Structure formats: structure tokens, C-alpha cells
Amino acid sequence: MPRAAIPADLSPRAYRRAADFLAGLDADWARHVAAVGPCRHEAKPGREPYEALVRAIAHQQLHARAAEAILARLLALYPDADFPSPQALLATDEQQQRACGLSASKLVAIRGIAQAAADGVVPSRADALRLSDDELIARLTPLRGVGRWTVEMFLIYTLERSDILPVDDYGVREGYRRLKGLDKTPTPRQMRDIGLAWSPHRTVAAWYLWRLPAQGVHPPGDTVRASAGDAQP
């Protein structure tokens, strides 16, 4: 049975409650939460799932500035809209879209998302808010270029879900290794089992773990990394 959606409560009070919960787990968490300070996770609610997924594909394997430049050129093809509708995106000549800097595989993925949105496979935001985390993962991961990690970033940043732990994310697993002084980074399966103890605050736990990885590994808001199954450039 799909796990029910965790209500979107990422208010400052909820952040404090989550941070206090994590700090109470053990001395390592207590030191880290104290060193980092209050959680300053920033979601981007309000976007339609279709737009959020298209933007996610554009950002995969690119630094945020490079991805935003490509998106700006793509959006310039549609001056009468803040973001092109699925129908408008599909009606545009593919060579024009490629000229914006999109790789062939990313363009196929983006147009596939647009077709899925037009067909009702990608839900509206109103419908997505009524679906559980597991239901959305099952519904969206069959789309080309949309791996579990991409859907989890969508759940965290667009739908403001508060109990998401992206175990395929290297930053999360490496962060935990550094938190605990382990010799090896946990596998995704190990990380999933470990993270059960952090529910229902796993989104905030991920935010704190992203503050720990070695230099050169950044949280998703800076450099977006694709996991297995996500589109490659």
C-alpha cells in the first residue's frame, strides 16, 4: 500500500521541531545541528509539476548558471507566456529548441514530459497535492529522463514534502559518512534503512547532511546531479 503523503509543513516552527528532533538522536547529530544552526531549506512551491520536471531535466548534470542560461534561451521562444504550455512546447520545431543548448537526450526527455502532461500522466499541481509520495514516484519515474532522484527533488522543492530522503544522492550518503566518521559511504539501501529513524523529518535531515559532504559536492540548489535513471547531457 502506498505510503500516505506527509502534510506540507516546512514553516520555521516545523524546521525548529525537526532540528530539535535530529539533535536529540545522538551526540553527532547534536554537534552538527548546533554547528550549522537553524535549517534554512527553501522550497519553490507554486510551480506546476510539468514545469518543475522540465526545469529539472534542463538542470541535470549542469551547474545552475549554465542550466538557467539554456532555460532562458528556451523560454525566449515563447515571449507571450511565463512558461510554455505542453502543447506549445510540442508544436515548436525541435531544431529551434536544440539551438538553445539542450542536448538531444534532454530534448527527447523534455518533449516526453510535455506529451505526458498533455495526456494527463503528469498531474496538475492540485492533483499532485492529493497523491502520496509513493504514488507520484511510481507515476513519474517511467518517464524518460525522470529517475527517482528527480521525483524526490520535485517532492522536496515543489510540493514541500517534509519526509523525503533521497538515498541515491551522493551528498546525503557522503554527508552521513562524515557525520559518523565512517570508513565507507553507505549504500542507498543502507541509507534507506538508517534514515527510517529520522521520519517524519527526513527532508530536514537531508538538508543537514548536504551541509557535510567534502568540498566539491554541493546541495541540489547549486549543482544538480542526476542519479541512475535520470537524463544524461
176-192 tens-digit pLDDT: 999 999 999 999 999 99
Q: Cβ neighbours of residue 231 under 8 Å, at least 6 residues apart?
A: 57, 60, 105, 106, 109, 144, 145, 146
Alpha helices, H only, 60-165: 64-75, 86-91, 94-98, 104-118, 125-128, 133-140, 148-157
Task: Please check the confidence at residue 217 and state whether its pLDDT lies above 80.
Answer: no
Above pLDDT 90, what percent of the chain?
79
Alpha carbon distances (Å) from 1 to 88, 132, 134, 141: 37, 10, 9, 18
How high is the pLDDT of residue 17?
94
How high is the pLDDT of residue 43?
82
Set 133, 163, 168, 169: catalytic member: 169
Cα(156)–Cα(177) distance, integer angstroms: 22
**pLDDT tens-digit map of 43-58:** 877 899 999 999 999 9
Residue 230 annotated to the active site: no
| Stretch 120-140: mean pLDDT | 96
How high is the pLDDT of residue 42?
85
